Structure 1
Amino acid sequence: MERNAVEERVAQHYAGGIYAPDRAPEDMAIQSDTLFMFLMGEAGQREDMEAWMVRMAEAMDRIQELMDVLEARAEEKEESGAA
């Protein structure tokens, strides 16, 4: 499977380029790295790096919002003494 330019750049720089060689998406090491799979899935849907970076910024915002909510809930439980 041939990678587009955005996928190639992501693969070259993700985790020191461990998936830089054009390995099949079915490769078990790749399949078990769900973050890499997400990044590559998004890269495959983008025509240029700038569009991919905008999408990643949106994803990071959503992840941060979720982390904030989960952290607040954990603190509430801790304060109430619930497990």
Structure 2
Amino acid sequence: MERNAVEEQVAQHYAGGIYAPDRAPEDTAIQGDTLFMFLMGEAGQCEDMEAWMVRMADAMDRVQELMDVLEAPDEEEEESGAG
């Protein structure tokens, strides 16, 4: 499978380029690296690195929002004195 320019950049720089050789997405090592799969999936939908960066910034914001919610003490537990 041929990579676009953005996918190639991501592959070259992700984790020291461990997936830089054009390996099939079905490769077991790649399948096990879900972060790489996500990054490449997003890169495959972008025409240039700027568009990819915008998508990644949005994804990071969403992950941070989720982490904030999951780290916040449950309001019910606080009110009951538990936790």
- TM-score scaled by structure 1? 0.90
Corresponding letter in the other structure for 1:80: A
From the CA coordinates, give the structure whose radius of gyration is larger. Answer: 2
Corresponding letter in the other structure for 1:62: R
Give the gaps of 5 or more residues in structure 2. Answer: none
Q: CA RMSD in A?
A: 1.8
1:33 & 1:77 partners in 2: Cα distance? Answer: 36
Which residue does the alignment assign to 1:23?
A: 23
Corresponding letter in the other structure for 2:17: G
Of all paired residues, the percent bearing the same amino acid is 86
Q: 1:39 to 1:73 in 2, by over 3 A?
A: same
Which residue does the alignment assign to 2:49?
A: 49
Deviations 1:48-83 (A, max 9, x none): 000000000000000000000000036x758623xx
Structure with greater helix share of residues: 1
Corresponding letter in the other structure for 2:23: R
Corresponding letter in the other structure for 2:4: N
